[in-house]
Structure 1
Amino acid sequence: MATILSLDKLLALLSESAGEDESIDYTGDILDMEFEALGYDSLAMFNTVNRVERDYGISVGDDIVANAKTPRLLLAEINERLRAVG
């Protein structure tokens, strides 16, 4: 069975990459909220994706990071790659 990155794991990685001491407790449906609205800038996004690439052995292009503006879009791209290496 292929590894799948969950929303909770993605948010934890984002928090770590942004240098936050604790994970933020999000309420409501944040899958379609833009990362900027969640408080994450492009540096946090690139750091997070670099960590995912290193930890999971996949490659996610910079263009995908730049275009995946929401957790739903980024998770879809990451999980597609994870399933491919399954």
Structure 2
Amino acid sequence: MAQPGSFTLDDLKEVMRACAGVTDSVDLDSDIADITFTDLGYDSLAVLEMAAKLQNHLGVVIPDDVAEQLPTPRALAEYVNVRLAA
């Protein structure tokens, strides 16, 4: 996983694959940065699972209410990077 301050969308894609898998209709290798998690087939439970995994592996606290308000992979990656840089 990423070094502090350098969490990338590719790192997040690994977490997405590990936590909730991938539906056949989604190509995580394409540009998914600004596609909502819902449109990617990830429900709120899957997003909370990703947040928990990131907290465990990176030490970044992502409260449940915050995780639910991060609509896209880009938003989640940016949130993580801001906390890693702090």
The TM-score with structure 1 as length reference comes to 0.81
Q: What are structure 1's unaligned runs of at least 5 residues?
A: none
Task: Using the aligned pairs only, state the percent identity.
Answer: 34
Q: Which residue of 2 aligns with 1:45?
A: 47
The residue type equivalent to 1:11 in the other structure is K
Q: Which residue of 2 aligns with 1:70?
A: 72
2:39 aligns to what SS in structure 1?
coil
- Over 4 Å off, 4+ runs: none
Q: Which residue of 2 aligns with 1:16?
A: 18
1:25 deviates by 4.0
1:26 deviates by 2.9
1:19 deviates by 4.2
1:2 deviates by 3.4
Does structure 1 conserve the Cα–Cα contact (< 8 Å) formed by 2:19 and 2:49? yes
Distance 2:41 2:28 in 1: 13
Distance 1:36 1:78 in 2: 20
The residue type equivalent to 1:68 in the other structure is L
Q: What are structure 2's unaligned runs of at least 5 residues?
A: none
**Aligned pair in 2 of structure 1 residues 37, 82: CA closer, same or farther (>3 Å)?**
same
